[in-house]
Chains A and B, each alone.
Chain A
Amino acid sequence: MAKEEGKIKIGDIVSGAVLAGLGVFIIVEARGWEYLGPDGPGPGFFPLWYGIAMVALSLLLVALSFVARGAEPGKAVNWREVANGLSAWAGLALCVGLLKVLGFLLGFGLFVFFLVAVIYRQPLRTAVAVSVGMAVGFYLLFPLALKLELPVGMLGF
């Protein structure tokens, strides 16, 4: 259990550190803009204050996660589930990257194939049928029926 608690707190500590970094970045950027001019507050006024608040709250989050360590039962992290979620996202990112080259029809079709075959571990025949059916269905519905524009690849579709 102690190991699981550690994992949850590490999440808070890492996210707190990232947000503190973001807060520092906001403060540094805001200091480069006018804070108070003759007409009133400048573009740096508001970001400076929420940047400071972000740093303070992030540090508080990190401090609280040390203070609360062991005080509350932690949740177990199922890394297999997390891997599924992140793999699906990686597939999405790859699909977006391919849209410019392959266009929506092929790029999205490949993405659906990946989700069905790899993430959901369905038979190859099912994966092919779902990916082809869905890509063609989207193409018929959006560009053809609703006249909505979709990303077009080098092949012209």
Chain B
Amino acid sequence: MEIFGHLLQGFGVAITPINLFWCFVGCFLGTVIGILPGIGPAATIAVLLPLTFKIEPTGAVIMLAGIYYGAKYGGSTTSILLNVPGESSSVVTCLDGYQMAKRGRGGPALGIAAIASFIAGTLGVIGLTLLAPPLAKFALAFSAPEYFALMSFGLAMVVLLAGESFVKALLGMLVGLWLAGMGIDLFTATSRFTFGSPDLLDGIDFVVVAIGVFALGEVLVNMESREGGQMLPVPKGLRNLLPTWQDLKDCRFAFLNGSVTGFIIGVLPGAGATIASFITYGIEKAVSRHPEKFGTGVPEGVAAPEAANNSDAGGALVPTLALGIPGSGTMAILLAAFILWGLKPGPFLFYDNPQFVWGLIASMYIGNVMLLVLNLPLVPVFAQILRLPSYMLFPGIFGISIVGVFSVSTSLFDVWMLAGFGLLGYMMRRLDYPAAPLILGFVLGDSVERSLRQSLMMSQGDLSILVSRPLSASMLILTALVLIVPLFRKANAWRLKAAG
């Protein structure tokens, strides 16, 4: 009952004209940039983050959340019309979405994607509303050793962000820790890794790292090839975008499957929307009466992954808001944004800044309605962005990135750093190093070191404090398991491969 009282207060914050405006701006910009192939939610948020610095924190985070799920909505458009996924979690949508479009059913495919996103997005936020507060309440009992164990668990999520190579992901995370450690040490005022430069005494701004590694890295990879895809015709008029009654009937299980599975996978840090979309597609195919038709343009093949992709957003915010653990690169950027605004994500957020956190949650209900209203009639208009040649799009993103970084610090040194991190992001992609672990290490690095040093101060240097307290010991065991189990699995796979 207490939760609903808070939620009502949150709606009081979210429906003020100014916050509704920021929510709309976020949803609109997120959809517009999310439509661009190759530019996923993480890069979209990174590029647009500096625009929110002049807004008060609640409005700013409402706008950022709008950008986040707007980018998720937008990602399906290119999958359906171009057979090019706007982001990795929209890959599965290509399978049936593009086939539907090729058969002249692009309109209903876009409509189903929007309706699935709305239903699942709303159910995901309901899950967030019910699950995050009790989790935060539980975490209030934490002291420095428990925080260290929790942050270590957060860092261990690198396993799930690893992609092809676990070693490369760990190395990326360590580079993130190193970057986070640059500047003045807050305990002893020693300057670390500053190379004698006064510009580095305050450390590296998160915006510089995020825009460089995520946005510029992605843009540089996209610029390697000059060719664009062939876009299928976009149906005009709302009537041509609405799916038939039979389509909706066929998709009813897919909506539920995607919503529930996507939310659960979203809550698990590191799992992410891509895995959620693949799993729900697999479940949908497994329970279908006509699994052989999947991949030929069935509406359930669009509804299930799109629902999972959007429900995941609500799920991923549970550990981010309640525990301060970002489960993905996008969540790490959101988390860093909270810190930049002077907020401390974690259990105290619900008690110290209830207006902020409940305003954000309430705005997500409103944002989902806004996106449905925006997406159904305006998809043909948004899709015209895809007709813009890449020689106009990508220079524009370079420009926004430079302006974004310079506007935060008015420092040309930071713009140089941006270029440097852009090259790093590009090289990482070329050499198959995942970018998310670096961001994870950068965001959590400071908290891990601080909680470790505070713990050891409490115990006067005795490391056993970390394992003698039941809660921290349990979390550290869990962390070890998370790190070790995939190694066993991989060793087993190698053994089987060698045997046969």
Q: Do A and B come from one complex?
A: yes
Return the chain B residue nearest A92 by Cβ. B419
Q: A89 near B: Cβ within 8 Å? A: yes
> Which B residues are closer than 8 A to A by beta carbons?
165, 167-168, 170-171, 174-175, 177-178, 181, 185, 187-188, 190, 192-193, 216, 220-221, 223-226, 389-392, 394-396, 398-399, 402-403, 406-407, 410, 412, 415-416, 418-419, 422-423, 426-427, 430-431, 433, 448-449, 452-453, 456-457, 460-461
- From known contacts A96-B412, A108-B399, infer whether A45 and B453 are also in contact, taking CB-CB under 8 Å: yes
Interface residues of A: mostly helix, strand, loop or mixed? helix
A122 contact set on B, CB distance < 8 A: 391
B171 contact set on A, CB distance < 8 A: 19, 54, 57-58, 61
- From known contacts A26-B178, A82-B224, infer whether A115 and B395 are also in contact, taking CB-CB under 8 Å: yes
Contact of A120 among B226, B412, B449 (CB under 8 A): B226
Q: Is the CB of A104 within 8 A of B422?
A: no
A73 contact set on B, CB distance < 8 A: none
- From known contacts A46-B449, A116-B395, infer whether A121 and B177 are also in contact, taking CB-CB under 8 Å: no
Residues in A16-64 with C-beta less than 8 Å from chain B = 19, 22-23, 26, 29, 33-34, 36, 39-43, 45-47, 50, 53-54, 57-58, 60-61, 64
A85 to B428, CA, bound (A): 13
A120 to B449, CA, bound (A): 46
Q: Is the CB of A41 within 8 A of B453?
A: yes
Q: A5 near B: Cβ within 8 Å? A: no
Q: Is the CB of A130 within 8 A of B430?
A: no
Contact of B193 among A12, A29, A100 (CB under 8 A): A29
- From known contacts A89-B220, A89-B423, A120-B226, infer whether A53 and B174 are also in contact, taking CB-CB under 8 Å: yes
Q: B433 → chain A, closest Cβ, in Å?
A: 7
A12 contact set on B, CB distance < 8 A: 431
Q: List 12 A-B contacts (CB under 8 A).
A: A22-B178, A34-B190, A43-B185, A50-B177, A88-B220, A92-B398, A96-B416, A99-B415, A112-B398, A115-B398, A148-B403, A149-B407
A122 to B395, CA, bound (A): 14
* Closest 7 A/B residue pairs (Cβ): A40-B457, A81-B224, A120-B391, A43-B185, A43-B190, A112-B395, A46-B449
- From known contacts A45-B453, A64-B167, A96-B415, infer whether A11 and B461 are also in contact, taking CB-CB under 8 Å: no
A26 contact set on B, CB distance < 8 A: 178, 193
Contact of B412 among A34, A40, A47, A151 (CB under 8 A): A151
B449 contact set on A, CB distance < 8 A: 46
Q: Is the CB of A134 within 8 A of B188?
A: no
- From known contacts A58-B171, A99-B412, A151-B406, infer whether A116 and B391 are also in contact, taking CB-CB under 8 Å: yes
Q: Is the CB of B221 within 8 A of A85?
A: yes
Q: A140 near B: Cβ within 8 Å? A: no
Residues in A131-153 with C-beta less than 8 Å from chain B = 131, 134, 138, 142, 148-151
Q: Is the CB of B170 within 8 A of A47?
A: no
A50 contact set on B, CB distance < 8 A: 174, 177-178
Q: B442 → chain A, closest Cβ, in Å?
A: 13
Q: Is the CB of B402 within 8 A of A104?
A: yes
A126 to B390, CA, bound (A): 13
Q: A41 → chain B, closest Cβ, in Å?
A: 5
A86 to B427, CA, bound (A): 9
Return the chain A residue nearest B411 by Cβ. A151
Q: Is the CB of A57 within 8 A of B174?
A: yes
Q: Is the CB of A19 within 8 A of B419?
A: no
Residues in A75-113 with C-beta less than 8 Å from chain B = 78, 81-82, 84-86, 88-89, 92-93, 95-96, 99-100, 104, 108, 111-112
Q: Is the CB of A115 within 8 A of B452?
A: no
Q: Is the CB of B395 within 8 A of A81?
A: no
A116 to B168, CA, bound (A): 35
Contact of A134 among B395, B407, B412, B418 (CB under 8 A): B395
- From known contacts A43-B188, A46-B181, infer whether A54 and B174 are also in contact, taking CB-CB under 8 Å: yes
Q: A63 → chain B, closest Cβ, in Å?
A: 10
Q: Is the CB of B392 within 8 A of A41?
A: no
Q: A128 near B: Cβ within 8 Å? A: no
Sample of 20 more A-B contacts, CB < 8 Å, known A61-B167, A151-B412: A19-B175, A26-B193, A42-B187, A43-B187, A45-B453, A46-B453, A50-B178, A53-B174, A85-B223, A85-B426, A85-B430, A89-B423, A92-B422, A96-B402, A99-B412, A104-B403, A108-B399, A121-B226, A134-B399, A142-B407
A115 to B193, CA, bound (A): 35
A130 to B392, CA, bound (A): 7
A53 to B412, CA, bound (A): 33
Q: Is the CB of B433 within 8 A of A15?
A: yes
Contact of A39 among B216, B406, B418, B457 (CB under 8 A): B457
B460 contact set on A, CB distance < 8 A: 40
Q: Is the CB of A93 within 8 A of B457?
A: no
A111 to B402, CA, bound (A): 12
Q: A25 → chain B, closest Cβ, in Å?
A: 9
- From known contacts A47-B192, A84-B223, infer whether A41 and B461 are also in contact, taking CB-CB under 8 Å: yes
A150 to B224, CA, bound (A): 28
- From known contacts A15-B431, A89-B422, infer whether A57 and B453 are also in contact, taking CB-CB under 8 Å: no
Q: A97 → chain B, closest Cβ, in Å?
A: 8
Q: Is the CB of A115 within 8 A of B456?
A: no
A57 to B328, CA, bound (A): 23
Return the chain B residue nearest A80 by Cβ. B224
Q: A99 → chain B, closest Cβ, in Å?
A: 6
A15 contact set on B, CB distance < 8 A: 427, 431, 433
A46 to B170, CA, bound (A): 16
A47 to B168, CA, bound (A): 19
B422 contact set on A, CB distance < 8 A: 89, 92
Q: Is the CB of B224 within 8 A of A115?
A: no
